[in-house]
Amino acid sequence: MKQSKIIAITGSIASGKSQVTNFLKQLYYKVIDSDIISRDIINEREVIEKIKSYFGENLYSEGVLDRSALASIIFNDREKRDLLDSITHPLIYKRISEKIEEYKREKIVFVDIPLLIENGTKSYGMNFDEIWLVYADKETQIRRLMSRDNISYDYANIKISSQMSMEEKRKYADIILDNRGDLNELKDKVLKALNRLNK
């Protein structure tokens, strides 16, 4: 049996990645969402115990993680962020691999991984046939984030600046889906990329 093509989809905050993955789902492609997997893993007993041990018991209330409190702890502390990643990422990638195996009859499987490029080689043995980057320039990101989250320009700028720049990410992408225009333009670009894959 021919192996599935495994395509990673990545981007940055407010670049429009979810618009791409939602469109792919509408076209009946399988999309594995690493954020959903992460949310499941963070509530598993083994992970709960490690997070309590390293970050404090008070992050959980009745077994539910206060995600915003954890985010504020790791936002400006690279060491703590790396520590959290070391707890969760091996499990996330293991779960992704299991999902890929589940979908092995599909011609193409997409994996939505927001911080794929930032993680560098820490993909725990996973190999992607291509990386698709959903791109928007910084000003477009800021404008969208302000509208989406109802926040100030300065705060939107801080959040975006905390991530690797889109210009840097472009260097690692096989396909760049430029999302500075409207949704119909983005869909056209996705269809062109799919046509090339399906040849």
97 annotated to a ligand binding site: no
Q: What is the pLDDT of residues 11-44, one digit of tens each?
A: 999 999 999 999 999 999 999 999 999 999 998 9
The rounded Cα 53 to chain-centroid distance in angstroms is 26
If you average pLDDT over residues 125-145, what whole number do you get?
Answer: 93
Mean pLDDT across the chain, nearest whole number?
92
163 labelled binding-site residue:
no
Over residues 79-100, the pLDDT tens digits come to 998 899 999 999 999 999 999 9
17: annotated binding-site residue?
yes
Assess whether the region 1-29+106-194 and the region 36-105 belong to the same CATH fold. yes
pTM of the model: 0.91
Would the annotation count 52 as a binding residue?
A: no
Domain ranges of the chain: 1-29+106-194, 36-105
Give, in degrees to the nearest 5, the angle at Cα 30 between 28 and 34.
140
The residues with which 178 forms a beta bridge, in sequence order, are: 135
Query: Torsion angle of alpha carbons 21, 24, 28, 32, nearest 10°?
Result: -30
Is residue 141 part of an annotated ligand binding site?
Answer: no
Which CATH code of 3.30.1300.10, 3.50.30.40, 3.40.50.620, 3.40.50.300 fits the domain covering 1-29+106-194?
3.40.50.300
Beta strands in the chain (DSSP E): 5-10, 30-33, 60-61, 64-65, 108-112, 130-135, 175-178
d(CA 176, CA 35): 21
Q: Is 80 exceeded by the pLDDT of residue 149? A: yes
Q: Is 16 annotated as a binding residue?
A: yes
CATH assignment, 36-105: 3.40.50.300
Cα-Cα-Cα-Cα dihedral of 192, 193, 196, 197, to 10°? Answer: -140
Q: Report how far apart, in Å, the C-alpha atoms of 190 and of each of 22, 23, 50, 135, 194 are.
A: 11, 9, 40, 12, 6
